[in-house]
Amino acid sequence: MKREKADLFPALLIGLMANVFLKGQTSYWVRPGVVTAPLSILLLAMVAYAFSCCWNTGTQGFLRWGFAALLAVGSALELLRLWQLFDCVYANSVGLLGVCFTVLVPVIYLRRVSSIAQTSNVVFWLLVGAAALLLVSVLDRLRVVNLQTVPLAGTTLQEALTGQLTLYPELLLPALWASSRSKKIDHPARLAVAVVGLDLAIHLLLELFFGAAMPGHDNPVHTAAQTGALSVFNRLEWLQLVLWSAAVSVKLALYLYAAVRLVGGRTGTTENNAVGLDRFPLYFVVMLLLCVGMRKMDLGRTLVWHNLACWTFAGLVIGKGVVEWVLSKQRFAR
């Protein structure tokens, strides 16, 4: 694999998998989710594609700093979600500083885009293997009768749309390095299918497992893994945490690489040297300050506000691009 042509698509998939698996709670029932899934995929793909097209037209100015700020806050939220998982598994045994140290130190190795691409391939298949093991572990506890026949009313459909229409930064990041029209179309479409499909699959698994009690669990995926038939999830909890820490490290390294591209910095002669080592002290301080500042916030509500900020930001970029396109057409007509 050539370093200057490293494929970051697996890293984007890892970020989306971390988003879905580390969710604190389920948000909708499967039946209306199946109905709204095609619309959700279409909307996410269209927004991501329009964002990619508009981002690469003209100069962005302050919008670059806005995008970098969204990535910074998103990174802090990922650290807090992982800390929440650590606390669920080993209550009061791992502090926020320890989680930050565990996740952020590997980012130093992942400062090169080639390292991100190579590591993400390994971590991706490890995550796929862990998901397959989870499915095998709970297979004998899945019951079709647990599927809820909720009415396809406006409320349930709205809940499903709201749960699926989460505009993760991974859907917007391809705009930074999409060099051709085919990539601008292909990556958003594949990512939209992946995130909605995975989210729906997880909801299906949990509804088959918990039934009507599904919404009442704070960490349903972890709870299902703990009650599975295979004892490996009980004996190797630390291995699960290591795997999730690796996934979040890859995600944060990708965010940092994108932020450096956005706001400038010493990137070297090629994109391979994404982040200079002298940037990391400031990066660590910023992450720690953000985590400490947000640790007492309601994490679920903060994630909702972050999603709203991502949608608002995408709307600003798309609106700006449309206005610039209209003005250019008028100038050309004259």
Total of domains in the chain: 1
Instruction: From 257, 287, 284, select the one nearest 273 (Cα to Cα).
Output: 257
Residue 73 clears pLDDT 90, i.e. is over it? yes
- Please give the model's pTM, rounded to 2 decimal places: 0.87
Task: Supply the pLDDT for residue 271.
Answer: 46
Helix (H, G, I), strand (E, B) or coil at 199: helix
Burial 209-234 (b: 16+ CB within 10 A, else e): bbeeebeebebbbbebbeebeeebbe
Domain of 83 in residue numbering reads as: 3-333
Rounded CA separation 267/260 (Å): 8
Task: Give me the helix-helix angle, 154-164 and 30-55, nearest 10°.
Answer: 40
Percent of the chain with pLDDT over 90: 26
List, in sequence order, every beta strand (DSSP E) within 209-327: none
Q: Which H or E run contains 12?
A: helix 9-21
Confidence band, pLDDT 50/70/90 cuts, at residue 316: very high
Task: Supply the pLDDT for residue 236.
Answer: 55
- Which CATH number covers residue 152? 1.10.4160.10
Q: DSSP letter at 165? A: -
Rounded CA separation 284/126 (Å): 27
Burial class of residue 245 in the structure, from the number of CB atoms within 10 Å of its CB (0-12 exposed, 13-18 middle, 19+ buried): middle
Average pLDDT, the chain: 81
